[in-house]
A and B are shown apart, each in its own frame.
Chain A
Amino acid sequence: MIPAAFEYHRPKNVQDAIGILVEHGDEARVLAGGHSLIPMMKLRMAAIEHLVDLQDVDGLSGISIDGGRITIGAMTTQHELITHDGLATAAPILREAALQIADPQVRYVGTIGGNVANGDPGNDMPGLMQCLDASFTLVGPDGTREVAARDFYEAAYMTERSDEEILTAISFNATAGGYSYEKQKRKIGDYATAAAAVLLQKDGDTCTGASIAMTNLSDTPVFSEAAGAALTGTSVGKADIEAAVAAALSDIDPTEDNRGPVEFKRHVAAVVIARAITRAWSRA
């Protein structure tokens, strides 16, 4: 559990950080909270020659709510997400999900940017960001671009971000209606056996909009358009929920690990999705 030697960089601004990334290419990685990267380095599963610590870079932290649009700096910690009053009103699902990430010690240090940028299918925020239809701001040597969370993830640890780019911010619209982030895990600090993020809008007894995404049930987060469509226009009865669950299950591809075999994970996924829909609907 001793990492190989590395060069430590601590730039003051984004441009300097990008300069280091450009200079060293894939031998360099940015460090946010470090809860994924540092263990990988200590296990010598990641050999990083140049570690670029972002904690002194100005302008990467904080939560702003402008009209209906929420923007969160990449270096904002999970703890800050949990304790931000405005966010609790504008998008309460974020707080609900962040409270299910690890433990308070981890959440004081772990960041939303690191969580979404690392591309680990076990992380909770990527699925949630797809549910929210969030947009990620990427800054690189050629300027700034926006990539939708739903287009960002390619495979485990493989994302749309290039080696020279830094994910600086996340933005999405304030939510309305019912919400739920439901997660089954073996213990505190564990990745999900299965987790689901659900947002539902309601008009009278009818569901007018639904967004459903899942965590750790494929090698990327899974946004299930079909699952949402199965609920839209219905009154979210038992059969409707079953239809949504069936649609969601056809979009996932879990693998066996110490949490259990595929058959079990699919069963738990069905339960978790149904519970998330039921709870979100009760709040809509």
Chain B
Amino acid sequence: MNDLTPTREERTAKLKGLGTSRKRVEDVRFTQGKGNYVDDVKLPGMLHGDFVRSPYAHARVKSINIDAAMALPGVIAVLTAKDLEPLSLHWMPTLAGDKQMVLADGKVLFQGQEVAFVVAEDRYIAADAVELVEVDYEELPVITDPFKALEPDATVLREDLEPGADGAHGPRKHHNHIFLWEEGDAEATNQAIDSAEVVAEEMVYYHRTHPCPLETCGSVASMDKVNGKLTLWGTFQAPHVVRTVASLLSGIEEHNIRVISPDIGGGFGNKVGVYPGYVCSIVASIVTGRPVKWIEDRMDNLMATAFARDYWMKGKISATKDGKITGLHCHVTADHGAFDACADPTKFPAGFFHICTGSYDIPVAYVGVDGVYTNKAPGGVAYRCSFRVTEAAYFIERMIEVLAIELNMDAAELRRINFIRKDQFPYQSALGWEYDSGDYHTAWDKALAAVGYDDLRKEQAAQVEAFKRGETRKLLGIGLTHFTEIVGAGPVKNCDILGMGMFDSCEIRIHPTGSAIARLGTISQGQGHATTFAQILASEIGIPADSITIEEGDTDTAPYGLGTYGSRSTPVAGAATAMAGRKIRAKAQMIAAYLLEVHDDDVEWDVDRFQVKGAPERFKTMAEIAYASYNQAIPGVEPGLEAVSYYDPPNMTYPFGAYICVMEIDADTGEHDIRQFYALDDCGTRINPMVIEGQVHGGLTEALAIAMGQEIAYDELGNVKTGTLMDFFLPTAWETPNYTTDHTETPSPHHPIGAKGVGESPNVGGVPAFSNAVNDAFRAFGLRHTHMPHDHWRIWKTANDLGLHG
């Protein structure tokens, strides 16, 4: 060794491994407009599809006349349910055990429902032909309110279902009822609440909204009739599952189907399910023998593809007069729309909603969720959250605030005295989860100190007095949230999608010259997998992240995986990556020992090399080992350096965080001004702090949108009132406040590198933080709870109802 020999620190830095704020490698192409999205796929002879959609929310389809459309030059085909029926493709199974019409079969059940699929030589002809398809509808009574849907004489929506027959999740108690799903001990919970010193009750509505990814959904299907192979490009968050479903539906053997998710412009849950457009593009390609492209426009996307939330959560929470929580009861009326197309693990029709005891040590709890059909679009996806976790976090964080009012207690203190203590982990929740790790008090105290909480409360009190004296029309709201997520689905023993266990995978090939490619069963939609997974691997195998290619999304090359949603990529595929890396390292150890002429146990790993124990100057770098694996005959060791790992996580991970929003509200106009937003996240081991910060900023901005205005609203005829970006709130830089990010680090004890996942935390924690700030601003005037979204007129109405307009 000499002065030029890199130090251990220099070698570590060169890897750009765990903990490095490595710049995102994807951004070079994205910022130059060189991404490759589904709509960039252009094939010779490609046709274009477009849908005739229902203008009505509920109507019988009496007839469909396609003659005028077919007569338009350039129109190749117009598919209706009658054409799909012989193939048994006029309906398709949903991920939630229900079935959904691909094309209207006798009736339509929501506005925007797919009625016919026009296939034409170009996109313009297809759009013209859509106008020429004549559909004769007979309007039927519309139900948009899930409570009205359950009234005894409510119109039957799903005539295809046997009245009284069980659904996929047990008995149905009404013709518009889908399931009742329960968890916890109802009797003990009722007893705790009935005998409690203090009880707070509230109906908390989490309104219907939509993930609204910048890139809408779409697909290109290309059936090669010569070799029998179907290639399908699409906006798929789970390409392997799509391949399996496509095979089961079409009867094409799975090896003859290749599914490719190219670059995806945001998913947020919207691209997990299977849509009629995918099925129709496949059928149209099979029928015509030509590639067929289908791309939604923005209105199609907002109106017809999967929505999120729409949960009416009736809560009761009890406590001692000192504020120690004794029980939590929750009944949810869940509006699923026309078909139950929720994207949840099969056995969880309400997802992981039973994480709703949150960060608190609650001895008994009960949850019951009634799923209901209405004349709205199907969906119920996890919009930037794990399955129904945002609903759960919003519910408990609102109930805590309401309880604080009932107790006349500070809401920060109420949280503190009820947090699960650090020494209680692993913690068994009353609703059946085992929280893997946490240190809530430390995070909470750090957050309160960072914003100067006590001074904020003094300022707020002074402002209330000034308001009462007529000196200001502004009110100050302090929105507190301590959330606990449950992500990383999940253990195969209880988590599956259509029977596929929710493991994930990574396959690594080390090239002779010491660089590598790793392929995963997940698919990035903007999360930066190509950047961060290379960092996990760099730290595991000592090859610089810059020398590792990460590839996802092609089912012909990537190992089987369940895809990317529910913050599962890092907890599951990230773990698979680390485990596959360790297999590489194990083999490398044998090769190194052989090359160094010592026993396997006499070498030890050091950053990027194996060295002889006690003689670090004798070493073989990973690059040297890789080369040797390809050009030397090593006794008892196969040539090459590759590994694959399928990882079945032993448990979920439980990221948490403390968020505080300080908001000023104009009581006269309903406008708000976010003065400060502090976000502390604990996602365990931090792989790339810069990517984490970007994720938090993005998620908080979506949370801002949801809390402060974003919704899918219907009128009583079932017309979508918010079908364009004029009315559907998608924030720009202008509406977005500054965020202060912070962290604590409590590694997951069961994850190979201790990482927990972070992409969805800011949405889960952000929504209650914004909403609590609005509610808190009016607490001094007697408000207990007001529903989201907190747009100008609703805030104004709250002020008006409280008599603040004189």
Contacts and interface: CB of A to CB of B under 8 A. Distances in A.
B713 A259 contact: no
B732 A260 contact: no
Contacts of A264: 670, 792-793, 796-797
Contact of B792 (A1, A184, A189): A184
A188 B297 contact: no
Given A44-B131, A184-B792, A190-B726, A2 B732 contact: no
Interface in B540-558: none
Interface centre among B668, B722, B732 (most CB of A within 10 A): B668
Given A2-B124, A5-B128, A258-B722, A186 B797 contact: no
Contact of A1 (B297, B668, B734, B805): B297
B127 A187 contact: no
Interface in B690-723: 709, 713, 721-722
B732 to A, nearest CB: 5
Interface in B663-690: 668-671
B793 A261 contact: yes
Given A1-B298, A186-B791, A260 B796 contact: yes
Interface centre among B131, B298, B793 (most CB of A within 10 A): B793
A258 B128 contact: no
B731 A5 contact: no
Contacts of A271: 668-669
B194 interface: no
A193 interface: yes
Contact of A188 (B668, B727, B735): B735
Chain B contact-residue range equals 20 to 34
A6 to B, nearest CB: 11
A268 interface: yes
Interface centre among B50, B670, B734 (most CB of A within 10 A): B670
A12 interface: no
A103 B792 contact: no
A260 B793 contact: yes
B792 A188 contact: no
Nearest to A188: B734
B719 to A, nearest CB: 12
Contacts of B805: 267
Nearest to A2: B127
A46 interface: no
B734 A268 contact: no
Interface string B102-128: 000000000000000000000110111
A267 to B, nearest CB: 7
A5 B126 CA distance: 12
A4 interface: yes
Given A5-B128, A103-B732, A258-B713, A184 B793 contact: no
Interface string A187-231: 111110100000000000000000000000000000000000000
B659 interface: no
Interface centre among A1, A4, A190 (most CB of B within 10 A): A1
Contacts of A5: 124, 128
Interface centre among B50, B298, B731, B791 (most CB of A within 10 A): B791
B721 A258 contact: yes
B792 A267 contact: no
A217 B273 CA distance: 43
Contacts of A193: 792-793
Contacts of B727: 258
A184 B133 CA distance: 43
A217 to B, nearest CB: 14
Contacts of B670: 264, 268
Nearest to B722: A258
Contacts of B126: 2
B734 to A, nearest CB: 4
Interface in B770-806: 791-793, 796-797, 800, 805
Interface centre among A186, A193, A267 (most CB of B within 10 A): A186
Given A260-B793, A267-B805, A186 B669 contact: no
Nearest to A1: B297
A194 to B, nearest CB: 9
Task: Report whether over half of chain B's contact residues are helix, strand or loop; otherwise say mixed.
Answer: loop
A259 to B, nearest CB: 7
B56 to A, nearest CB: 18
A264 B805 CA distance: 11
Contact of B734 (A187, A260, A261): A187
A2 B123 contact: yes
A259 B793 CA distance: 7
A268 B805 CA distance: 12
Nearest to A191: B726
Contacts of A103: 732, 734
Nearest to B122: A2
Contacts of B792: 184, 186, 193, 259-260, 264, 268
B55 to A, nearest CB: 13
Interface in A120-169: none
A107 to B, nearest CB: 13
Nearest to B473: A271
B299 interface: yes
Interface string A233-273: 00000000000000000000000001111001001100110
Contact of A187 (B297, B713, B732): B732
Contact of A268 (B297, B669, B732): B669
B732 A267 contact: no
Contacts of A258: 713, 721-722, 727
Nearest to B793: A260
A23 to B, nearest CB: 24
Contact of B796 (A4, A188, A267): A267
Nearest to B732: A188
B647 interface: no
Given A259-B793, A267-B796, A267-B805, A186 B729 contact: yes
A272 B800 CA distance: 17
A137 B722 CA distance: 38
Contacts of A191: 726
Nearest to B300: A1
Contacts of A188: 732, 734-735
Interface in A65-108: 103
Nearest to A122: B726
B793 to A, nearest CB: 3
Given A184-B671, A188-B735, A268 B298 contact: no
Contacts of B721: 258
Nearest to A261: B793
A278 B721 CA distance: 36
B10 to A, nearest CB: 46
Contacts of B731: 187
A220 to B, nearest CB: 20
Interface centre among B127, B725, B800 (most CB of A within 10 A): B127
B709 A187 contact: yes
Contacts of A2: 50, 123-124, 126-127, 297
B790 to A, nearest CB: 12
Nearest to A271: B668
Interface in B640-678: 668-671
Nearest to B713: A258
Contact of B668 (A186, A190, A267): A267
A268 B668 CA distance: 7
A260 B731 CA distance: 19
20 contacts: A1-B297, A1-B299, A2-B124, A2-B297, A5-B128, A44-B131, A103-B732, A103-B734, A186-B792, A187-B732, A188-B732, A188-B735, A258-B722, A259-B792, A260-B791, A260-B792, A260-B793, A264-B793, A268-B669, A268-B670
- The 3 lowest CB-CB distance pairs between A and B, nearest first, are A260-B793, A2-B127, A1-B297
Interface of A: 1-2, 4-5, 44, 103, 184, 186-191, 193, 258-261, 264, 267-268, 271-272
Given A189-B726, A260-B796, 15 more contacts: A2-B123, A2-B127, A5-B124, A184-B671, A186-B709, A187-B731, A188-B734, A188-B735, A260-B793, A267-B796, A267-B800, A267-B805, A268-B669, A271-B668, A272-B669
